Amino acid sequence: MKKYLLLFCFLTINSFAQKTTVYCIGDSTMANKADPEHNPEHGWAQVLQPYFKDNFVIVNKAQNGRSTKSFINEKRWDSIYKKLKKGDYVFIEFGHNDEKIQDSTRYTNPHTTYRYNLIKFVQEAREKGAIPILLTSIARRNFNEKGVLVPTHGDYPLETRLTAQEYNVPFIDLEYYTELLEQSYGPEKSKLLHLHFKEGENPFYKTAKDDDTHLSFKGATEIAQIVLNQIKNSKNPLLEKLQKGIK
């Protein structure tokens, strides 16, 4: 009996150890939201887990309002670094709050601090044998009066692209693909991807809501599908295990 109990414990521990963790670090466009049964806002990493097999665990550590700078200074990255193990993955998507030039606790120069923070995430993930994946920020719904989607992220996506190229990091150009998504819906219908409610239309909000940055469940799901499709279609050998983990 004791032998069988030991065998059961070994198999249980071994099964747990074989799980691959996918850490997600970023801002509110990625983060889990409170009260998901009633809250219409969702981050795209919040909806990832059901698309993965049981041997993959999504740990979404993205947090509202964080930039690369504040994420590091608040020791959020340190808490992940300590737990990283060989074969884990780290999705890295920042930029929205690095742009906050009026806030010294969050703002980063895209060509210096932002870039070097991305390099820090990449190098330290690799130190632990984990595989970083860089993603550009999702596009905002920012159509002008002519129906043209106008970019809002300045040079931050460029620096993400350059860092991925220089350090040979798996890369998903989420800004590009979400631009295509917004444009496919058009200026009016694209409101469905975000948070647009008249006063009294949604009980979660006391007043009208017009938010072109954050995502509805539909928007989050669409973007999660983009990420999954880009992983599945990638030829990068570093993503082979991750590809096998997608249902």
- For 131, phi then psi, to 5°, come to -115, 110
Taken as a whole, the chain contains a residue count of 247
Which one is catalytic: 28, 67, 70, 216? 28
Q: Does 214 participate in catalysis according to the annotation?
A: yes
State the SS3 of 117-173. Answer: HHHHHHHHHHHCCCEEEEECCCCCCCECCCCCECCCCCCHHHHHHHHHHHCCCCEEC
Distance CA 33, CA 40 (A): 9
DSSP 22: E
Which one is catalytic: 93, 214, 216, 222? 214
CB atoms within 10 A of CB 188: 10
Comparing CA positions, the residue from 211, 213, 39, 45 lying closest to residue 139 is: 213
Which one is catalytic: 74, 127, 188, 199? 199
Residues designated catalytic: 28, 199, 214
